Structure 1
């Protein structure tokens, strides 16, 4: 399968030929593979060939192997003794659990973050929303996922709870490929746009109670719509 690696410009610089230039090669390789998985370039259950990826990214097999371990910890890859690295396939029950965990963690993080938010935090969130809007207008599905996750994480960071934030970041990463699919093929885009704008407004008003309630509904409804979509398109 011919695939072009999509690597975050903020984290990894690449040469014209597609090889990785950054010193932290394992992180760069993990980012490249992660983005292919999230973009749907690699399907659920597909085997990832270590040699082929090393050649495509211009690195040795060692950082690819280490990247696989990192992605396994994130839940995106499963390592098998005889098959090597395989793109993880989440069951409907697992996806429901991930959204349930988000609905528990995110309202608490947001409530703790709001009293600590600065004008700089709010301005950063507003800029992300504008980028999100541009991505929607351009039908840039890759950017939707990035902007959606970064918007939420920007609002939660002032809580100062790095472990909880790390858990939420992992949960967002694990569900991102499914969420992108759902946004493309259902009516979720317009609701996400409206709810994000309202969430930022409530943060500006320092209304932690309503903001927490909204993010809980936002996560629950996204999960329910996603599960309904997946039930129609694949078995659990």
Structure 2
């Protein structure tokens, strides 16, 4: 249990460092150096790396060890195709059941997102984006779909932070989130789901454009 707790703490810190760009794509994460840095044995470090590999943030390469993965066109398309299908399904099932407390929570998240944009607080953008989407789908009674979407949102957190690297993208995301909340409040199921699909497609298009630009 102790090893598991330490491994989770190490995984959380490394995940944050990868998502925030401290460990860039292609960076090698050496187990012995990490063990020294965290003041831990190599066992929880290895467990943390296995967890991050399962999330797609690193890849274990023979004779090289753990390497931070790069953005992938194929993975972007795979993840965002699934997000369009499954998030729309959750949103459709959730909208009619959202409560006043849910909308109060959404408004608070939206307010925090605006503050994070103004403060250029990179660490909050992906977190708040995930919270907003999760809250919008929170009343759906589709536990298997919700579990898959939770994994997809965690995997795309890194992509979201990259996509939100431009001020224009951040402002557009803030506006699109506001539109999604308003459509949900009005219980306009089809227009709301259409807005969601368009929102996800916009993020995908931005990411593919960035990928092409950086080649």
Structures share a fold, TM > 0.5? yes
Instruction: Decide which structure has greater helix share.
Output: 2
2:25 maps to which of 30, 44, 62: 44
Q: What residue is the counterpart of 2:103 in the other structure?
A: 122
Aligned counterparts of 1:163 and 1:41: Cα–Cα separation in 2: 34
RMSD across aligned positions (CA): 1.9
Aligned counterparts of 1:208 and 1:51: Cα–Cα separation in 2: 52
**SS of equivalent to 2:18:** helix
Q: Retained in 1: the 8 A contact 2:3–2:43?
A: no
**SS of equivalent to 1:103:** helix
Pairwise CA distance, 1:23: 7.9
* Unaligned residue ranges in structure 2 (runs of 5+): none
TM-score by length of 1: 0.84
- Taking the TM superposition and a 5 Å limit, the aligned residue runs for 1:1-80 are 24-80=5-61
Q: What residue is the counterpart of 2:192 in the other structure?
A: 211
1:133 maps to which of 110, 114, 117: 114
1:89-121 CA distance string (max 9 Å, x none): 232122122111111111111111112222222
- Taking the TM superposition and a 5 Å limit, the aligned residue runs for 1:109-188 are 109-185=90-166, 187-188=168-169
Between stretches 56-65 and 190-199, larger displacement belongs to 56-65
TM-score by length of 2: 0.91
Q: Retained in 2: the 8 A contact 1:43–1:87?
A: yes
Distance change in 2, residues 1:172/1:46 (3 Å): same
Q: Retained in 2: the 8 A contact 1:40–1:177?
A: no
Report the number of matched residues: 214
Q: What residue is the counterpart of 1:108 in the other structure?
A: 89
1:91 maps to which of 57, 72, 77: 72
